[in-house]
Chains A and B, each alone.
Chain A
Amino acid sequence: MTFLFALFLAQASCASCHGEDGNSKIANIPSLAGQPEFFILNQLFLMREGVRPIESMKPLVKDLKDSDIDALAKHFAGLEPRPSGESIDPALVKRGSELAVTLRCASCHLPNFAGRQQMPRLATQRVDYLVHSMKEFRDNKRSGADTLMSNAVAGLSDADLTALAHYAASLGK
């Protein structure tokens, strides 16, 4: 019953922004397809708690029960991630791949950037959203599930973050 409700919710509320198949076509809105189940669950909890306040999400998450969150997490984790169609710059991909080694991104997000547990999938994520998100961490506007991200991107320029985003988005499965 709850799972059906979650499916209904996903289609009725989530799809208009995050895409019919969980792959966002809208700038600065993240794709959720193929994200680690725990990551989605955790973020919905943090949004509901007000730890990660996002105005457009507030009315959608405020009445979710734990079991709804669980079902939504399972739903999106099971969808197929697809590239956003944004243009990917090979020179930036190369620069980003070098930065990613220095910053040790793979230790949490895995070498293929598929993510795991509380760490999100970055591969095939929207470039604009990745840049937006990393800026929030860098500029101390978002604490995340762990504070390590604010440390990982500390002191990076916008150009560095853009390069990292192009690299991450360029990775497939």
Chain B
Amino acid sequence: MVLALLQSPPGFSPIDRTNEAASNQAANLAPHATPPTVTPLERLPLDKIKLPAGFKAEVYSFGHPGGRTMAIGSNGTIFMGTRQLGRVYAITNRDGKREVKVLLQGLTQPNGIVVKDGALYVLAINRVFRYDDIENKLDNPGPGVELTDKFNLPTEIHHNWKYVDFGPDGKLYVQIGSNCNICEVNPGIHGQIRRYNLDGTGMEIVARGVRNTVGFDWHPVTKELWFTDNGRDWAGNAGPEDELNRVATGQEGAFYGFPYCHAQGIPDPDIRKPNACAGVTLPAALTGPHSAGLGIKFYTGNMFPQSYRNVAFIARHGSWNREQEFGFDVVVARINGGRARIEPFMTGLLDEKTNMFYGRPSYVLQLADGSLLVSDETNGAIYRITYQAR
């Protein structure tokens, strides 16, 4: 046993330890496919989208299959990361219309993208690239500066498509997922949020015991980090529910429970430990069973009503490990200290009667005018949400 562990690469986790019979779920649940093909304008589900009174959705862009994460350059270029298609897109404005180009391709799951000081950072599992002055090189970005060796991120791919962003401290915050559904991971390597200096030095662990966060943002007033986290699968249709978590000031490095404790204190049925929830920072809010909350952004714009100031918009990608589908929407999290209340915002993409979905909201991004972009991975489209008082 000891020998086997020694022979394993660092950070390597044993395979899932799930009791499939105990989950009492349909055996044929499986992840949904993402089309690599373009969904034409007339087939986008715009007419399905429902919003509160005064809000309106329009198609901002389309023709970027698999586009998920969004980052904006100072000239207004929207960069989009993907997962399996391996592309990074650049979406520019010309004469009021959007132009889509494939900026990079052939990468492994380049979900981690962020822009700072004119440079685009792309994180694809363990590989890290920086493309300087990118908005002036959209036709020929070149090979970029590869920083992979400086960051030395784990190479396991599962749950390690990255989410990255720059914090108020100017450091690069990076997701390191747990590379299984439920298992013991090496806590020194997996299940974390880390922060780094731009050159890959000065690594610090900001959050531990995180199953798989693929979205975080900082509260505009408190500057505290808030992150979504996807709960485990194959433990029943009811959850454990996904989480919205806060890293309180001074609590950097706190433990959020994976794999022993989920949601508001549910011990894991497969990975057992006495006092499983002792010392665990519990979530600020639950975000629904298997709902897959991905992108989160706090709203700081002036277009939406005052009551939306400093709320967090969360894109829920939607369930797969659940017999009755759940999510496929955008919700609002209203923050009150260390707690949050979840309310519906953008709905209509899930038909509960037929158990069919029409799109998968993945990430949100606020534009300078205060409108909100929502990416739809399934349809390779971005919707823009505006508000006008009636």
Contact = CB atoms under 8 A, between A and B. Distances in A.
Interface string A30-52: 00000000100110011001110
Interface string B138-162: 0000000000000000011111110
Residue from A143, A150, A155 with most neighbouring chain B CB atoms (10 Å): A143
A49 B89 CA distance: 13
A2 interface: no
B30 A107 contact: yes
A45 B108 contact: no
**Interface size of B as a range:** 35 or more
Contacts of A148: 31, 158
Residue from A41, A70, A108, A148 with most neighbouring chain B CB atoms (10 Å): A148
Given A107-B28, A143-B109, A147-B158, A51 B84 contact: yes
**Chain B interface helix/strand/loop/mixed:** loop
B36 A150 contact: no
Given A49-B106, A104-B20, A117-B33, A151 B85 contact: no
Contacts of B106: 49-51, 53
A154 B33 contact: no
A57 interface: no
Interface string B13-40: 1111010100000011111111111100
A42 B105 contact: no
B15 A49 contact: no
A64 B109 CA distance: 23
Contact of B105 (A50, A144, A154): A50
Nearest to A45: B36
A15 to B, nearest CB: 25
Contacts of A153: 15
A150 B156 contact: yes
A58 to B, nearest CB: 11
A49 B86 contact: yes
Contact of B27 (A49, A53, A106, A146): A106
B108 A152 contact: no
Interface string B170-199: 000000000111000000000000000000
Contacts of A108: 30-31
Contacts, number: 105
B109 A147 contact: yes
Nearest to B181: A151
Contacts of A155: 8, 12, 14-15
Interface in B327-359: none
Interface in A103-152: 103-104, 106-108, 110-111, 116-119, 140, 143-148, 150-152
Contacts of A118: 31, 33-34
Contacts of A45: 36-37, 85
A64 to B, nearest CB: 12
Contacts of B32: 117
A145 B35 CA distance: 10
Interface residues of A, number: 37
Contact of A111 (B27, B31, B36, B159): B27
A70 B36 CA distance: 11
Given A51-B106, A117-B33, A147-B161, A154 B84 contact: no
Contacts of B15: 103, 151-156
27 contacts: A42-B33, A45-B36, A46-B84, A49-B85, A49-B105, A50-B106, A51-B85, A70-B37, A104-B27, A104-B234, A107-B27, A111-B27, A116-B30, A117-B33, A118-B34, A119-B30, A140-B156, A140-B157, A143-B84, A145-B33, A150-B158, A151-B15, A151-B16, A151-B179, A152-B15, A154-B14, A155-B14
Given A49-B36, A147-B159, A154-B12, 9 more contacts: A42-B36, A46-B84, A50-B86, A107-B29, A111-B27, A116-B30, A143-B108, A148-B31, A153-B15
